[in-house]
Structure 1
Amino acid sequence: MQEISSPYPSRATLIGYARVSTGDQDLRIQRDELLAAGCSRLFSEKITGTHAARPELARMLDHLRKGDVVIVSRLDRLARSTRDLLEISEQLLSMGVGLRSLAEPWADTTSPAGRMVLTVFAGIAEFERSLIIERTHKGRTAAKMRGVRFGRRPTLSPEQVALARHLIDDERNSTAHVASLLGVHRATLYRALARTSA
C-alpha cells in the first residue's frame, strides 16, 4: 500500500497564536502552553473576540509561509465563531499552512482526519445558513401577508408633506426654507414630495 505524503514536513515551523479577551486576563498560560508545544514564534494580543480588527492575527497571517503550522491553545482563542474559524482555516489551507489546537486534538488540519472534520463543520455551517435564510424568507412573506411593512418609517408624515407642498406652491417659500422649518434635509423633503406626486 502506497504511503500518502503529508504536505507538512516533520520539522515544520510551529507558529503560536494567543489571545485573551480583556486587559485583566494574563497571556502567560497560553504562551507557556504554546512554547511547550514547540512554537518558535508567538503572536499574542489582548483584544475581545468580537472586535473585528485583530492586528496580531493579521501580522501572523502575513508572516506565515507554506509548510508552517499554526498552534493555538483552544480554537476560541483564534476565531470568534464557527464561520470565522472556517474562513481562517480555509485561508490557512490555501496558503499551505496547517492549523492545530492543543485542547481539541481533532482540530488538526495537518492530518486527513482533521481536514475531514473541518469539512464536515463547513457543511453544517452552510446547512445552518440555508435554514436561517429560508426561515427569514418565510417569516417576511407571512408578515407581509398580515400587512406588516418593512423598511424605514418615512421621516415626514403625510400631513407634513402636505404642509410643505402648500408652503412651497401657494406661499412661494423655497424648498430649503421649508425643509429647515420641518427639521429635515432638503434632499429628504424632495424625496417625500416626489413620492406623493408620483
Structure 2
Amino acid sequence: MMVIGYARVSTEVQSLAAQLTQLQAANCTKIFREKVSGARTDRKQLAALIKELSKGDVVLVTRLDRLARSTRDLLNVLAAIAEKGAGFKSLGDAWADTTTAHGRLMLTVLGGLAEFERELIRARTGEGRERAKARGVVLGRKPKLTKHQQREAIARRDAGEVLTKIARSYNVSHSTISRL
C-alpha cells in the first residue's frame, strides 16, 4: 500500500510549495504535481497517477478543490480511483475519505445530489428549447449558405461539377455541399 499525493495549482506563477510540504508531512510515498487549471479534464499528471495506482493505495490531496473543480469532475475522478481498488483522502476535508464507511456514505450522497442537479438542469433546458421552438425560434448554428446559394450549389452538383470546386467558390467545406 502506497500513499500517493497529488498537488495542483492553476497557473505557472503559483507555487506548489505549501501543498508539497503538507503532503510530505503526511508521508506520501510519491507526489504527482502539475500547474494546470482544474477546469481541464486532460490533466497529464492526474492521469499518470491514476494509471499507476494499485489495489490498496490511497490518493491524498490537501483540499478537494486541488483534485476537481466541479462535483461531476470529482465523482468521475473518484470513480477512476475506485476502479483501481484504491482509496482517496483529503487532508482539509475530513469527510472526504473513501477508506472509511462514513466517507463513502458522504461521497455517495454527494453523487446523488449531483445527479439530481444534472437531471433538473436537463429538464429545464429541454423545456426552454421546446418553448423557443413554439415561438418559432430556429435552434442551432446559422446555415453558411443562403437558400439561394443552396439551390445554386445543388444545381451545380447535379450538373456534374466537383464538390470541392463548388465548396471553394462559396468558401465552405466540401462536406457542407455534400450534405445539401
What interval of TM-score do these two structures reach, taking the shorter chain for normalisation?
0.7 to 0.9
Once residues 118 and 107 of structure 2 are traced to their aligned partners in structure 1, the CA distance between those partners, rounded to angstroms, is 16
Residue matched to 1:66: 55
Once residues 102 and 133 of structure 1 are traced to their aligned partners in structure 2, the CA distance between those partners, rounded to angstroms, is 34
Q: Tell me if 1:124 matches 2:76.
A: no
Q: How many residues in Structure 1 have an aligned counterpart in Structure 2? A: 179
- Judging changes above 3 Å, is the alpha-carbon distance between structure 1 residues 97 and 141 closer, same or farther for their aligned structure 2 residues? same
Once residues 168 and 63 of structure 1 are traced to their aligned partners in structure 2, the CA distance between those partners, rounded to angstroms, is 55
Q: TM-score, normalised by structure 1?
A: 0.79
Listed one character per residue, the Cα deviations across residues 18-74 of structure 1 (whole Å, up to 9, x for unaligned) are 111111111111011011112121111111212332121122112211111111000
Counting only pairs closer than 5 Å after superposition, residues 1-198 of structure 1 correspond to structure 2 as 12-164=1-153, 174=161, 179-192=167-180
CA contact (8 A) 1:18 1:27 kept: yes
- Judging changes above 3 Å, is the alpha-carbon distance between structure 1 residues 156 and 80 closer, same or farther for their aligned structure 2 residues? same
- Judging changes above 3 Å, is the alpha-carbon distance between structure 1 residues 100 and 183 closer, same or farther for their aligned structure 2 residues? closer
Mind listing any 5+ residue stretches in structure 1 that lack a counterpart? 1-11, 193-198
**Structure 1 vs Structure 2 CA RMSD:** 2.3
Mind listing any 5+ residue stretches in structure 2 that lack a counterpart? none
Residue matched to 1:8: none
Q: Percent identity?
A: 47
Letter in 2 for 1:182: Y
Once residues 119 and 187 of structure 1 are traced to their aligned partners in structure 2, the CA distance between those partners, rounded to angstroms, is 46
SS at match of 1:42: strand
- Judging changes above 3 Å, is the alpha-carbon distance between structure 1 residues 156 and 29 closer, same or farther for their aligned structure 2 residues? same
Shift, 1:189, TM fit: 3.7
CA contact (8 A) 2:50 2:80 kept: no
